Amino acid sequence: MRLDEPFTAEEIEAMRRAGRGDTERTLSDAFDKARAIGKRLPFAQDVLAAYFCVRDPGTPRRVKWILLGALAYFVLPTDMVADFLPVVGFTDDVAVLTAAFGAVAASIRPEHREDARRAIEEA
């Protein structure tokens, strides 16, 4: 996925849901899922850092939308590769999250990462 490519239908639907007020549900689902897998998958801390970045009132709106789209994809029950498949289940999620994080890396601050680390430890 390149940043100059158009959004997929799933990404557009996730953004629509977020725009309709489902933002809280998307964030809550992403937080719960990332904490549940936190000690088993290394990218869970990145998901939680994105969660805390979206929650930060100082985060620019564009950054929040990019991260919300990635988090919505992360919690989709029917994404490209089923998450329950061993080894490959999260590869598509990682690809989407990596692209989103690459676009907004400067906005994910050390305190977001520290909050994410603590959330996993407390799980």
Q: Give the Cα separation of 99 and 91 in Å (integer).
A: 12
Cβ atoms of 69 and 116 within 8 Å: the answer is no
Domain count, the chain: 1
Instruction: Tell me, yes or no, whether 35 lies in a domain.
Output: yes
Instruction: Tell me, yes or no, whether 5 lies in a domain.
Output: no
**Domain range enclosing 102:** 29-122
How many CB atoms are closer than 10 A to CB 100?
25
The predicted-structure confidence for 90-122, as pLDDT tens digits, reads as follows 677 778 888 898 889 999 999 999 999 998 888
Instruction: Tell me, yes or no, whether 20 lies in a domain.
Output: no
The predicted-structure confidence for 17-57, as pLDDT tens digits, reads as follows 656 666 777 777 777 777 777 667 777 888 889 989 999 99
Closest by CA position to 13, among listed 56, 75, 94: 75
- The contacts found for 27-33 with CB under 8 angstroms, 24 or more apart, are 27/51, 27/54, 27/55, 27/68, 27/71, 29/75, 30/71, 30/72, 30/74, 30/75, 31/119, 33/74, 33/75
Q: Which two tokens stand for residue 85?
A: 């498949």
Query: pTM of the full predicted structure?
Result: 0.65
